[in-house]
């Protein structure tokens, strides 16, 4: 994408065009926020699919393998922006740890707020001389609303929600600084001065994953980036991510992706070429 920003309304014509187009995985050089008011969507990220319907929002970070298969009745908005347009996005940070970042929207509640902001953004964007400062503030508003909705979906009581969110965010920051090391759950629980059990409870309450699953997910996402953007061998990549044996790294990668690291690299390079 040459522009720093664009917004597209998913009309009947747009949905049919996407449905009739080639079903090809591709990479984005921009961030994407999809707001859906109705319809069905099969969404592939890094060769894994998730089927969504009704009112929902989803976020796809730059550099992820991505494909949409919408139904003809899909309606909503797609917001694309370069990282320079919205730097230090919370959603970009979370995407380092999770393949899918989706939230359900209430048709009689927050959906109308998302749609209203998209309509205002689109009206400004279609002006002859759009005010991109205004658009940037409005897009930041969408991102904040999306982040808030993620937190509202956390299955915790109000009295424990805020402390758990704070602790979880601290865990992610510690993980980001240490995920390449060959350390386990006890390392992170010690860093946070809590038991492994409590840290696991916090992680499951926030993103329905255990500590070890989140650690492996972060390593896996980095492995995929390195397989794509570097010429390092599978052994070198595994070693840099804390796997001392190539066979163990390959086994972990295959258990999560259903293909070996070498085959993944071949498939990605083939798609790009």
Residues 106 and 203 in one domain: no
Report in angstroms the alpha-carbon separations of 158 from 153, 162, 172, 174.
Answer: 12, 7, 22, 25
Name the phi and psi angles at 58, rounded to 5: -140, 155
Residues 96 and 196 in one domain: no
249 touches 238 (CB < 8 A): yes
CATH number for 110:
2.60.120.280
Which residues neighbour 93 within 8 Å (Cβ) at sequence distance 6 or greater?
A: 172
Q: What's the CA gap between 15 and 72, in Å, rounded? A: 5
Structural domain containing residue 139: 5-152
Task: List, in sequence order, every beta strand (DSSP E) within the chain.
Answer: 5-10, 31-38, 40-45, 48-53, 56-60, 66-70, 75-81, 101-104
Which residues neighbour 130 within 8 Å (Cβ) at sequence distance 6 or greater?
A: 124
Residues 120 and 196 in one domain: no
Among the candidates 152, 173, 188, a domain finishes at: 152
Residues 64 and 168 in one domain: no
- Count structural domains, the chain: 2
Among the candidates 87, 122, 152, a domain finishes at: 152
Which among 261, 228, 235 has a CA at the least distance from the CA of 26? 228
Residues 232 and 192 in one domain: yes
Residues 93 and 40 in one domain: yes
Q: What's the CA gap between 122 and 119, in Å, rounded? A: 5
Residues 78 and 129 in one domain: yes
62 touches 29 (CB < 8 A): yes
CA dihedral 248, 250, 256, 262 (to 10 degrees): 170
Burial 210-249, CB ≥16 within 10 A → b, else e? bbebbbbbbbbbbbbebbeeeeeebeebbbebbbeebeeb
With a threshold of 0.85, does the pTM exceed it?
Answer: no
CATH number for 229:
1.10.10.60
Question: What does the DSSP 8-state code read for residue 156?
Answer: S
pLDDT per residue as tens, the chain (273 positions): 788 999 999 998 988 888 787 777 777 788 889 999 999 888 877 667 788 888 999 888 876 777 888 877 889 999 999 988 988 776 766 666 665 578 888 877 789 999 999 999 999 999 999 999 999 999 999 988 888 887 666 554 555 567 887 888 899 899 999 999 999 999 999 999 999 999 999 888 877 789 999 999 889 888 988 998 889 999 999 999 999 888 999 999 998 888 899 998 887 777 655
Residues 236 and 106 in one domain: no
The reported pLDDT for the residue numbered 98 is: 61
102 touches 34 (CB < 8 A): no
Token pair in block for residue 251: 């086994």
Place of tokens 């090809």: 24
Report in angstroms the alpha-carbon separations of 241 from 180, 236, 268.
Answer: 4, 9, 20
Report in angstroms the alpha-carbon separations of 224 from 19, 94, 178, 195, 261.
Answer: 28, 17, 18, 31, 8
Which residues neighbour 143 within 8 Å (Cβ) at sequence distance 6 or greater?
A: 33, 86, 89, 90, 91
Which among 235, 225, 214 has a CA at the least distance from the CA of 264? 225
Among the candidates 137, 152, 167, a domain finishes at: 152
Residues 17 and 120 in one domain: yes
Residues 142 and 263 in one domain: no
Residues 57 and 172 in one domain: no
Residues 65 and 44 in one domain: yes
The reported pLDDT for the residue numbered 154 is: 54
């Amino acid at each position: 994408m040459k522009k720093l920003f664009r917004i597209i309304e998913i009309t009947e014509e747009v949905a049919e065009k996407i449905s009739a187009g080639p079903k090809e995985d591709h990479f984005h050089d921009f961030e994407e926020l999809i707001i859906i008011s109705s319809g069905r969507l099969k969404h592939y990220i890094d060769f894994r699919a998730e089927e969504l319907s009704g009112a929902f929002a989803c976020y796809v970070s730059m550099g992820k393998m991505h494909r949409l298969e919408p139904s003809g009745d899909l309606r909503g908005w797609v917001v694309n922006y370069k990282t320079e347009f919205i730097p230090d996005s919370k959603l970009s940070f979370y995407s380092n740890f999770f393949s899918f970042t989706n939230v359900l929207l209430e048709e009689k509640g927050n959906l109308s707020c998302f749609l209203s902001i998209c309509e205002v953004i689109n009206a400004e964007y279609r002006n002859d001389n759009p005010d991109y400062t205004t658009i940037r503030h409005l897009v930041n508003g969408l991102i904040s609303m999306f982040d808030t909705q993620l937190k509202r979906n956390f299955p915790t009581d109000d009295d424990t929600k805020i402390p758990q969110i704070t602790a979880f965010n601290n865990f992610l920051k510690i993980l980001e600084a240490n995920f390449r090391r060959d350390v386990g759950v006890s390392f992170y629980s010690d860093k946070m001065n809590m038991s492994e059990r409590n840290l696991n409870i916090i992680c499951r309450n926030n993103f329905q994953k255990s500590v070890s699953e989140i650690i492996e997910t972060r390593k896996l996402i980095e492995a995929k980036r390195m397989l794509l953007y570097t010429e390092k061998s599978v052994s070198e990549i595994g070693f840099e991510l804390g796997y001392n044996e190539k066979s163990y790294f390959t086994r972990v990668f295959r258990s999560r992706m259903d293909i070996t690291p070498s085959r993944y690299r071949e498939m990605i390079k083939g798609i790009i070429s």
